[in-house]
Amino acid sequence: MKILFILIPIFIFQATTFAKNPIIPNKGANDPHIRIFNGKAYLSASHDKSIDSKGFSMDNWWMWSSENLVDWKLESILKPEDTYIGKPFSSCWATDIATRNGKYYWYYSEGNQQTGVVVGDSPAGPWKDPLGKPLLSSEMTPTHEYDMGIIQDSAGDYYIVFGVWDYYVAKLNKDMISLAEKPRKIEIKNPRGPYNPDGKNLEKPTDDKPFIHSYNGKYYLSWGCFYAMADNVYGPYNYTGSIIDASSFAPGYEKPTWPNGFLQGRHGSFFEFHNQWYFAYCDISQTGNRYFRDTFISYVHYKENGEIALIRVDGIGVGEYDSNQGKIEAEDYFKASGITKKMNPDGGFSVAEINEGDFLVFPNIKGLEKKSKIELKTTKVKNVTIQMRNGSPYGKLIASFILNNGNDFYQFRLPSLSGVSDLCFVFKGKGSDLLKFDSFSFR
């Protein structure tokens, strides 16, 4: 079999800085909720005050933004003095943000007791407290009314979920600052958690910081790295598992842990951006202090039965790539069009259902200046041409790789690449389902 390639020399120059995991190092940004508005990611976060803290000390809430999940900009600071709290306060706990009818609603926790809300015309504010009192007051349910999360269902209705050990959920009115119903207790069948590894701790069966997201018609209720699944937002939810275990960690990221181990304290949120799913969560492996937490982001992949595969906890993070890391998994793209992820027999994933014109974007690949070859791992290849372009499917053509039917492994020469490269793979061929793309690496 003859393998052909067309090589077009080009030099790519780009200057940037790399912000690996943690995404905002040495700042204490934690309890991350990431939402996508107008093509940009917004991180609403709590703020651990000092790496020297001996207890939880958080005196404001933060809003950060990023277009690439790598470079982050502080957009807004919400002080408790500017809310119904009305004075300095050191228990500014978890937050979330939602938008409706051109307004943005930023929900925040008054410690582990109550939840308030402010409203603004943009995700960066300025913010106004429309109620002058809590949205969720401390006497509302048998649990504590804090650590809320917002979920929008397929009909466009919004819900708020909150609590510790037992969770409650309620539909919001269209004004987003009042409840349309009395909060309902969520049933979770056979829950587990950092305090309840064997299911016997009925007093503390789960944790705080609940979050609900939906994917492919299912609802996922998570508390840190633990989660349960249901067919509707109210449940009942069936406990499914944890997305982290001992095999998840790259060297140097497994310790130190919380008193109850590395599964504790993974407060976070799931979000979708450019046809890719992510989990943003707390980590203390780099600070060594449970009271000064960082935010990490990892790729999320769903199995065919709807369960979530184990995530990878490492320093590479998302939205950037190191050509010296070995293989780069195709499913860990930053942007994609017209593809799906499929589980491999070995438990990994490939990018599949690739048709003419579909593409994958991998920005911020560093270390390519000394690389002369690219290796592609594929299966079920028809006659396909992969165009490698600069940054997007419309970017300047760097090289074309022709893949003949029958091979699972291809190696091609690279043109000279310099600096940090943004690469886009564009797939060309007749018919549908041209190939399954597993991974690529550089030599």
Please tell me the predicted confidence (pLDDT) of residue 5: 37
Q: Which residues of the chain have pLDDT under 50?
A: 1-19
Pairing relationship of beta strands 335-337 and 359-366 according to DSSP bridges: antiparallel
Confidence at residue 7, expressed as pLDDT on a 0 to 100 scale: 36
**Would you call the peptide bond into 134 cis, given omega within 30 degrees of 0 as the criterion?**
no
Structure tokens at 275: 């046809």
Separation between Cα atoms, residue 210 and residue 268, nearest integer Å: 9
Residues of the chain with CATH 2.60.120.260: 5-15+322-442
Answer whether 280's CB lies under 8 Å from 32's CB.
yes
Rg, Å, the chain Cα set:
23
| The predicted structure's pLDDT at residue 4 | 39
DSSP summary character for residue 308? B
Unique residue bearing structure tokens 């700042």: 27
> How far apart are the two ends of the chain, measured CA to CA in Å?
23
* Residue 38 confidence (pLDDT): 96
- Residue 419 pLDDT: 77
CB pairs under 8 A, 24+ apart, for 239-247? 239/188, 239/189, 239/190, 239/191, 239/192, 240/307, 240/308, 241/192, 241/307, 241/308, 242/192, 243/279, 243/300, 243/308, 243/309, 243/310, 243/311, 244/310, 244/311, 244/313, 245/310, 247/310
Tell me the whole-structure pTM to 2 decimals.
0.94
CB contact burial 351-370 (16+ within 10 A = b; e otherwise) = bbebeeebbbbbbbbbbbee
Q: How far apart are CA 268 and CA 43, in angstroms?
A: 11
**CATH 2.115.10.20 intervals, the chain:** 29-300
- The C-alpha atoms of residue 155 and residue 163 are separated, in whole angstroms, by 25
CATH of 29-300, one of 2.115.10.20, 3.30.70.20, 3.30.420.40, 3.20.20.20: 2.115.10.20
Cβ atoms 153, 143 nearer than 8 A: no
Burial 261-274 (b: 16+ CB within 10 A, else e): ebbbbbbbbbbebb
Q: How many CB atoms lie within 10 A of CB 52?
A: 9
Domain spanning 5-15+322-442: CATH superfamily: Galactose-binding domain-like (2.60.120.260)
